Structure 1
Amino acid sequence: MEHILRPIYQERASQQNTLGVILIEKRHDTSSVTDTFDAVLLIIVKDGEEAIFTKHYIYEEQKAAMHVVTEDQLNEWLLLGSNRKIVDWLFNGKVLFDRNEYIEKLKMELRDFPFYGRKIKMGMEFAKLIRRYLDGKAFFEAKQYLDAYNHIVHSLHHLARLAVIENGFHPEITVWQQVKQIEPEIFKLYSELVTSDEPIKKRLELLFIASEFMIHSRTSSCATHILDTMKEKEQWTIQELQEHPHLKHYSVDLGVLIEYLIDKKIIEIYKTDTKGLYVYHRHYKVSL
């Protein structure tokens, strides 16, 4: 379909604002990588009025999508992992235009996966894992086993993504295939949860025991990013932590992560006076 879309992407490539153009074609009928489209044009621009601008096209019996994405939006997707397909598109798509080797340099950076970038992603993924795990445990203790099961499946997915990141790779759409090679223990846990003939309560009981160990063993490395950030000063309010540029992407999971680290005696509570009697401000600092 490249020759059909050529006039569209050539017009974009001629603009100074365009950094790169990638064509992603559907590999087979059951592939979800192109969101059911026969082809996707990913056009990366330096900046734009909209972070994402999309158009759909049709040619005879084929359909195509064009996504014009700003560099900031692309970097946010890569940092947060909020667009699971983007890594696949960058590595497996056909580069049609590459200004000053922008795409090639980006792919090299992704392959290298600098440790600082890994620390941020590990911290955010760990926070999501903690939230899902604790919610699942609360539902289990309330005997709401199906809701507990749902949260634990999600927590295992975050654990799988975390394992991939720890090993210096970016989680892909087929994350379980990656984990099967990288950390078969996590893959086995997931398989036993979803395929075992044991009663759901028994499956969850066993999984909570195994997950507790896997989470505990990762706490030190996965908390490095938030702890390094908090060491910038003596104590923090929750608002200051939420607004910090390095922590704002933790979003609603930040509070849960802090409470977990308090429970593990990694973060301490520091009380300061308020105008109310016996009511104190709750500040946070890293335990010495």
Structure 2
Amino acid sequence: MRDQIYPEIKKEMEHHSAAIGALAIPSPPAHLTALEPVDLLVLVFSKEAKPAEKAAVYCSRSWRVKTVWVSLSHAFASIIADEHPDLVEWILNGEILYDPERKVKELTHIVRQFPTEYRMKKMCIELCGLLDGYQRSRWHLKLGEGMDAYYFIQEMLRRWGRLAVMEAGEFPRQDLWNQVRQLHPGIHKWYQELASGGESPEQRIRLVLLAVEYAVLSKLEWYGRYVLNLLHQQKGMWSLRELNQQIGSEGLVVDLSLLVEEMVKRSLVEEITLQQDRMSEQRYRLMTFGVRGAKGS
């Protein structure tokens, strides 16, 4: 049956002007198809920024087939920014059905091989999210808003887990905590401690915050090396806007302000204030003595 259906779908893609590639995922698990049982999931990549087609389910030769359309540019951005967790699983479980320009092969290579360039960028983005959760949790804790602090500490722990998985060279997946338990059981223990430890919720939050300060922020130079490499490769001073634009060159929206601020505190980056008329602007450059391991591999 597969030998009949696949060529039919491929032929359909060849005649669809918006289709730039397609992946086939046979017998996909229910959690990959929104709990809708199908025999075949077809992920179609569109050259359009907003595909006219979204999703459809139909029957072909007694097979129940679901097609899902996604913009190729959005797919590249979302797998780095973790905006579409299902997409990573589809790519990992799929086989290339149609790829005239080899764009799908490039995308699958990023997820399956996780090249250093993309791993560095993704770690940097996760670090920014972790710093945001860290600051928000501390703030809510200070105001006595325990439930809000707990929410953000959970998000921060997830970011920490994702950083540990990436540091081990793997791409974070939907079963993140299974990955973390195997690769870094210490972080998984903190996750369990937060959920069911013997201390009060407030004490558990404070303990996790201390653990993050020690284990993550002390490795700021490693997790944030994408930004440090930018500063190293192009000498001179950068504005925060320029750094945000550089990391967001593939359609990503990232705010590096907390990360750069932390790098300044730790003397990794120097902040320079430029005065122009009545306006001043903060610009940043790598400290003159260099950064240990900034080039990385």
TM-score (norm 1): 0.84
Q: 1:117 to 1:265 in 2, by over 3 A?
A: same
Match of 2:53 in 1: 53
Aligned-partner Cα distance in 2 for 1:197–1:212: 22
**For 2:69 and 2:205, how far apart are their aligned partners in 1?**
44
CA distance in 1, matches of 2:71, 2:257: 30
Q: Could you tell me how far 1:265 is from its partner in structure 2?
A: 2.1
Structure 1 unaligned blocks of 5 or more: none
Cα offset, 1:98, TM superposition = 5.6
Matched-pair contact (CA < 8 Å) for 2:43–2:70: yes
Query: Equivalent residue of 2:54, what SS?
Result: strand
Q: Secondary structure at the match of 1:69?
A: strand
Asked if the contact 2:270/2:285 (under 8 Å) is kept, the reply is yes
Match in the other structure for 1:165: 166
Report the equivalent of 1:212. Answer: 213
For the Cα contact (< 8 Å) 1:136–1:151, is it kept in 2? yes
| 1:169 positional shift | 0.7
Does the 8 A contact of 2:269 with 2:287 survive in 1? yes
What residue in structure 2 maps to residue 198 of structure 1?
199
2:255 to 245, 253, 256: 253
CA shift digits 1:89-125 (9 cap, x unpaired): 1222355556587656654553332112111111111
Q: Please, which of 262, 266, 269 is the counterpart of residue 271 of structure 2? A: 269
Once the two structures are TM-superposed, the CA of residue 208 in structure 1 deviates from its matched residue by 1.4
Cα distance in 1 for partners of 2:88, 2:7 equals 23
- After superposition, the C-alpha distances for 1:4-36 in whole angstroms (9 at most, x for unaligned) are 898556412555854333135343xxx422112
Measured after TM superposition, the shift of residue 287 of structure 1 is: 1.9
> C-alpha separation between the residues in 2 aligned to 1:183 and 1:251?
29
Tell me the equivalent position of 1:32.
31
Q: Which runs of 5+ in 2 are unaligned?
A: 289-297
Q: How does 1:102-121 map to 2 (within 5 A)?
A: 106-121=107-122
2:282 is the alignment partner of 1:282: yes
Deviations 1:163-199 (A, max 9, x none): 1111111100000000000000000000110122421
- Equivalences for residues 142-161 of structure 1 within 5 A: 142-161=143-162
Rounded Cα–Cα distance in structure 2 between residues aligned with 1:237 and 1:266: 16
1:250–1:224 Cα change, 3 Å: farther
Contact 1:41 1:67 (C-alpha < 8 Å) held by counterparts = yes
Q: What secondary structure is seen at the aligned counterpart in 2 of 1:66? A: strand
User: Does the 8 Å CA contact 1:37/1:63 hold for their aligned counterparts?
Assistant: no
Output one character per residue of 1:214-267: Cα deviation in whole Å (capped at 9) or x when no partner: 112321111110111123131122222222256786635311211221222222
Q: Which moved more, 1:34-43 or 1:12-21?
A: 12-21
Structure 2 residue matching 1:85: 3-state secondary structure: helix
- What do residues 134-158 of structure 1 show as CA deviations (whole Å, max 9, x unaligned)? 1111111222111111000000001
Whole-angstrom CA distance in 1 between matches of 2:35 and 2:255: 32
Counterpart CA distance in 2 for 1:217 and 1:245 is: 23
Q: Name the Cα RMSD after superposition.
A: 3.0
SS of equivalent to 1:21: strand
Greater Cα shift, 88-97 or 200-209: 88-97
Which amino acid in 2 is paired with 1:146? M
**Distance verdict in 2 for CA 1:209–1:110, change over 3 Å:** same
Amino acid at match of 1:285: R
Matches within 5 A, 1:55-204: 55-57=55-57, 65-93=66-94, 95-97=96-98, 106-204=107-205
**Aligned CA distance change for structure 1 residues 223 and 108 (closer, same or farther; 3 Å):** closer
| Counterpart AA for 1:55 | A
Partner amino acid for 2:262?
Y
Instruction: Check the 8 A contact 1:43/1:69 in 2, yes or no.
Output: yes
Measure, in 1, the Cα distance between the counterparts of 2:224 and 2:52. 32
- Taking structure 2 as the reference length, the TM-score comes to 0.81
Paired residues in the alignment total 281
Alpha-carbon offset, residue 212 of structure 1: 0.9
Percent identity for Structure 1 against Structure 2: 22
Moved more, 261-270 or 116-125: 261-270
After alignment, is 125-134 or 65-74 more displaced?
65-74
Q: Is the 8 A contact 2:162 2:176 kept in 1?
A: yes
